[in-house]
Structure 1
């Protein structure tokens, strides 16, 4: 065999070995989202993936948060620092660099097949300043260890303008791209307008599994950069390598424009597949009793059983009753995030603590003493499932979820009323993206307490003491043409080191049927106090609900202790809650009403909820205030994700951790941040609250 053939055989073996390692690997671009370096690709990350990336290519530093709520949809929020441009006048903004915030969306049109490539359409900077706005169509096809992409773009990605826009034949306006006139608009007037640039490239999975090589043709020639910030481009070819030292970390280095080095890092993880770490320090499950060792039920044992339910299952019992061979325990689950886990732990305690007189155990769920729903489990079927004599589907047929029952029951035990609870924990606040610093933060020690006047009425409060912050840098107040309902943020955060962000009297009641009501008064949030009420109509087991809240509030003093300022407003909304889909559940909320600044409009909030409780969502609010009056941003919007704290703490808890990324805090579209809401308090009325994680019932 000649040397040439040996070399060809070796090269083929090398390429094939790379193909066997990670053919489906997707990595983040400089701009966030699946891509090469400067350009996007048609590929998508796995459903539920979240990526936080940072990259630098002079003069741009980019910080991106990308989420994959659906297999076919990718969303990215970006914060960019343009390091050779000033944020504003030096006497106001100091030496801060110019900041730009934007949102991207990419949707897959179809998957790759044997003959057809994968194809996606995307929009960059769709809701930001529009400085870097672009629209594109891109296709990807794999060839062994190589993944090739080719795309067409208008706007920033295609600024080289390789050929004229063919849509000009339909309308001459498509020939040129207008300059964006308003920050934060949807940029609809420029969509798909202007010359078209070609972009694309190849990623190659090397035989070293951790190493991916990228080569791309950039569609931008950098001769029309925003703010007249044109850059030298010696070649449109960009080169880069991605090193993955361990799953979840990507380190990128490259050479772009033939003139600038590029470095980047990405931290990735899949929230859809995340699982609780709470079992690490959780109490061991109570073993089921055999028939001979089951407890003896007598009046003296019911208090002990209630205590065991609180200790072993996190169920705070208010009443135990019976109806024939059914034992009903009424109470509130205070420990376990997954409803099925709380029910399963309770069934184990009841099985060991009662005699053979009972065939069914029912947990009557309460929240703040309001009856929400009832979950009934066959004692025999539960034991068969735990011992794996039946599978989960068979067991599910012996689980009944129903609205609160009105049958007569024999009361066996009523728990004494516990009027006072208190606790202390950490608090955190931050402001991101202002001229005074990339992140301004505060860590606090928060003490909370609740006193119950009755089973439906309580007073609750929080005292927050500053521990650590960098708010001494916080000097900027954004301009506003509206009542300053939120843009006094700096004053509220910096005036006092000890605050009372919440102190309110609340009463909540089940009004019968499917109706719930709540009233409240006091310091309702850090900036506002007042009085208000809410009514919720939530039919049991349905995918929809309707709610109305009305509040009259006054702005609080900046020190967040006692006293009010001279601004007041009546605010409130009618909200429709709708759950869509089964395999891919989407929660859509639409609220219509008056906001804190007196503007009238609507908020649309759409979130994907995964079976493990993780949500990824976005919201947008548009009111009767013009973009010019609203100011930078044009309308209120943001993205967020929320995870059960079980993922972060080694002990079980019902709490959630939410991360909100809001481009700008402005006065338009601002809502009252109430501490309690009836929709979340009545979560167990959704049958899927239990059934979507039924496999947790024996954990």
Structure 2
């Protein structure tokens, strides 16, 4: 049964719409049918075939599988309760490319969406796209249903197209990949597939599946490759064993004579190794004495004593310092106190606010009823939470929602009357020395690359908002060596560093695009110390809801110059708007103080919106490092414990040919707070960007200290998302 072009166009438009519409409705339903094990493709499934199962919402998992047919490394994220996204890097054996190694390295991307969960007689149903952004080695689509037959036996059956039907798509040898192959979706005659899993016990599960995959790849130049030996049968068998909370190993056979092994790890943001954390308990709220017991304190006459505020401010500053916070300034009257704090310890700003409120009840005289806690970032006030002291005393042992309802959040005033800066706060010097690790993954040419060394970093805050920052790195070892960009028309061949340095004309691609990122390997492999960053930054708040930043110096390892930014972001709004302009020049490859000839003025305007479910959308429109113009859309999901996982896509006025392999820029970002793994409170994070290619189109400047990420921590949407930790 061959689908018509009209059918394929309908699927191409309605499937993405179903994913968006379903994401809005699926949040309210019960947990979907959860996977018993991962397939070798990184989705919930049997062995090679998918099922209609999902992972627990928010799960980040990695799967490595090995057989004679392929070696696959998959990174999967349960982006929504029903939506699973998979980024895959695979070595596919039996296929030759320009390297003539007998295998190819392939990148691909999948989407798997559970339309319905199992309910009553109705099975769970899912639809999926496999390898719809790659070159198409694994290209296929499916509709699959899964149902529990008994409490331990689960069956799945579906219809597959493409490789899932044993009908591999013809791969265009000139295709750069990176664009959806919409015309192939659900095309050709589908074939059925299925699997049965038996949960023997809490650890062991056995799987049998029927698969049509013949492990063949066909190219437009007429070449056909068999990926290993052709399977003797359509029956595959596997056994999976779980150990610990997050790990699984598996052994399987494909077609009866080819064996494989698999390892999976799954991390759920909601299942931290130390769910309650290891931080020390906060000081309890101190209830005020009766007026008769402290008539002077209740009368407010103490406020006339010029020594009262300095003593109170010093005591409160010392107590906050023990909590990992800095009391930057304080305004105090007989019945109102405002403190301005810098949170240096807690991932959730609500926890810093809650602990500050507790300490204020212990440090302030009884007549002070109104408590105002103003958060700051880079010396700039960002928001003020106003509380009644009576409510803090009354609601200490209730749920956090009640104190949230009794509080108000508003934009912080630039400088209220009576604000006194704490002594010895500025100037302030900080430094650290620690190892660093640079990883490169999902590269078709290089596979896994790494570089290890030591980094010394220091900052000097001269006055509030003015900060000098620098870093010095020394490489110890690694396999990321210096090399020039690829030679056009000679895949796998690169210019030597000497060739690249000797010919300035090579710093532009044959298509006329400046090499702003495709020569990034020229900045690696230095055996001498390098300076990745050395900047002077000025942060300010010139008007209500308006923040500014000006940064100058060596902004990142490849560019130096001046970066200026303005942001409008009300404290109680989910919206934000900003603009940034940069005048930068390319640094020399030794990463010291010399520069190359290329310079550019670039920048963008940005719009931000925070959804209540923990999603943040950002749209940047403007000019990029290579002079191309376009837009970047970023969608990030953040959990209450600080996990951040996002995806971005950039399209500019460069054609797919001008951009090169990948067709346009895209990637995944991951940021995990160290507190999640260690249980110890910390604002430090492990952050990475998964991008298969470093191309020139859509390239942004990597400047630190952009305003939105600094400001939003203490604004209403994110603050209230973490409000459950107010009493922690």
Structure 1 length normalisation: TM-score? 0.88
| From 222, 225, 232, the counterpart of 1:229 | 225
- 1:551-607 deviation digits (Å, cap 9, x = unpaired): 111111111111011111111111111123x3x232111111111111111111112
* Worse-superposed segment, 48-57 or 290-299: 290-299
Distance 2:419 2:634 in 1: 43
2:696 paired with 1:667: yes
Relative to structure 1, the CA distance from residue 187 to residue 684 in structure 2 (aligned partners, 3 Å threshold; closer, same or farther) is same
SS of 1:51's equivalent? Answer: strand
Distance 2:525 2:246 in 1: 37
2:670 paired with 1:641: yes
Residues 286, 312 of structure 1: 8 Å contact kept: no
1:506 alignment partner in structure 2: 537
Residues 373, 685 of structure 1: 8 Å contact kept: yes
2:210 alignment partner in structure 1: 217
Relative to structure 1, the CA distance from residue 242 to residue 306 in structure 2 (aligned partners, 3 Å threshold; closer, same or farther) is same
| From 150, 173, 180, the counterpart of 2:157 | 150
Distance 1:215 1:191 in 2: 27
SS of 2:357's equivalent? Answer: helix
SS of 2:179's equivalent? Answer: coil
Q: Give the number of aligned pairs.
A: 654
2:530 paired with 1:485: no
2:720 paired with 1:691: yes
| From 105, 108, 115, the counterpart of 1:99 | 105
Cα distance, 1:688 vs. partner? 2.7
- 1:282-302 deviation digits (Å, cap 9, x = unpaired): 444223335359999824413
* Worse-superposed segment, 685-694 or 230-239: 685-694
Cα distance, 1:469 vs. partner? 2.1
Residues 312, 349 of structure 1: 8 Å contact kept: no
Distance 2:178 2:34 in 1: 35
2:203 paired with 1:194: no
Relative to structure 1, the CA distance from residue 438 to residue 278 in structure 2 (aligned partners, 3 Å threshold; closer, same or farther) is farther
Cα distance, 1:422 vs. partner? 2.3
Distance 1:383 1:154 in 2: 64
2:554 paired with 1:520: no
- 1:196-227 deviation digits (Å, cap 9, x = unpaired): 22211111112x32111111111223355676
Distance 1:252 1:97 in 2: 24
Distance 1:484 1:412 in 2: 51
1:203 alignment partner in structure 2: 197
Cα distance, 1:347 vs. partner? 2.0
Relative to structure 1, the CA distance from residue 402 to residue 500 in structure 2 (aligned partners, 3 Å threshold; closer, same or farther) is same
SS of 1:70's equivalent? Answer: coil
- 1:278-327 deviation digits (Å, cap 9, x = unpaired): 943x4442233353599998244134224324422322122111245121
Distance 1:135 1:593 in 2: 36
Relative to structure 1, the CA distance from residue 54 to residue 225 in structure 2 (aligned partners, 3 Å threshold; closer, same or farther) is farther
- 1:602-636 deviation digits (Å, cap 9, x = unpaired): 11111222222222211111111111221111111
Cα distance, 1:396 vs. partner? 2.4
Distance 2:515 2:33 in 1: 53
Distance 2:280 2:477 in 1: 34
* Worse-superposed segment, 455-464 or 402-411: 402-411
Distance 1:185 1:118 in 2: 30
Residues 287, 393 of structure 2: 8 Å contact kept: no
2:601 paired with 1:601: no
2:24 alignment partner in structure 1: none
Distance 1:312 1:32 in 2: 45
Cα distance, 1:329 vs. partner? 0.5
Relative to structure 1, the CA distance from residue 148 to residue 509 in structure 2 (aligned partners, 3 Å threshold; closer, same or farther) is same
Distance 1:178 1:471 in 2: 31
* Worse-superposed segment, 468-477 or 420-429: 468-477
2:683 paired with 1:654: yes
Structure 2: 5+ residue stretches without partners:
1-31, 489-508
1:15 alignment partner in structure 2: none
Distance 1:383 1:555 in 2: 57
Distance 1:640 1:276 in 2: 24
Residues 96, 437 of structure 1: 8 Å contact kept: no
1:125 alignment partner in structure 2: 131
2:467 paired with 1:458: yes
* Worse-superposed segment, 544-553 or 604-613: 604-613
2:418 alignment partner in structure 1: 410
Residues 309, 332 of structure 2: 8 Å contact kept: no
2:262 alignment partner in structure 1: 264
2:423 paired with 1:423: no
| From 347, 370, 388, the counterpart of 1:378 | 388
Relative to structure 1, the CA distance from residue 486 to residue 278 in structure 2 (aligned partners, 3 Å threshold; closer, same or farther) is farther
Cα distance, 1:528 vs. partner? 0.6
Distance 1:436 1:188 in 2: 27
2:129 paired with 1:135: no
Relative to structure 1, the CA distance from residue 435 to residue 201 in structure 2 (aligned partners, 3 Å threshold; closer, same or farther) is closer
* Worse-superposed segment, 452-461 or 629-638: 452-461
2:52 paired with 1:39: no
Distance 1:374 1:611 in 2: 21
Relative to structure 1, the CA distance from residue 609 to residue 452 in structure 2 (aligned partners, 3 Å threshold; closer, same or farther) is closer
Residues 208, 235 of structure 2: 8 Å contact kept: yes
Cα distance, 1:85 vs. partner? 4.3
Cα distance, 1:648 vs. partner? 2.7
1:397 alignment partner in structure 2: 405
Distance 1:36 1:225 in 2: 26
* Worse-superposed segment, 465-474 or 340-349: 465-474
Residues 384, 411 of structure 2: 8 Å contact kept: yes
Distance 1:303 1:449 in 2: 28
Structure 2 length normalisation: TM-score? 0.84
* Worse-superposed segment, 247-256 or 644-653: 644-653
1:110 alignment partner in structure 2: 116
**1:583-594 equivalent positions in 2, closer than 5 A:** 584-594=613-623
SS of 2:311's equivalent? Answer: helix
Relative to structure 1, the CA distance from residue 345 to residue 55 in structure 2 (aligned partners, 3 Å threshold; closer, same or farther) is same
Cα distance, 1:476 vs. partner? 7.1
Cα distance, 1:463 vs. partner? 1.1
Relative to structure 1, the CA distance from residue 407 to residue 604 in structure 2 (aligned partners, 3 Å threshold; closer, same or farther) is closer
SS of 2:236's equivalent? Answer: strand
Distance 1:401 1:647 in 2: 27
Distance 2:78 2:705 in 1: 29
- 1:100-140 deviation digits (Å, cap 9, x = unpaired): 11111111222222122211111111212222211111111
Relative to structure 1, the CA distance from residue 353 to residue 675 in structure 2 (aligned partners, 3 Å threshold; closer, same or farther) is same
- 1:322-381 deviation digits (Å, cap 9, x = unpaired): 245121111321221111211122122222222212123211111122221101233232
Relative to structure 1, the CA distance from residue 310 to residue 468 in structure 2 (aligned partners, 3 Å threshold; closer, same or farther) is farther
Distance 2:262 2:241 in 1: 10
* Worse-superposed segment, 211-220 or 398-407: 398-407
Cα distance, 1:432 vs. partner? 1.9
Residues 482, 523 of structure 2: 8 Å contact kept: no
* Worse-superposed segment, 118-127 or 305-314: 305-314
Cα distance, 1:96 vs. partner? 9.3
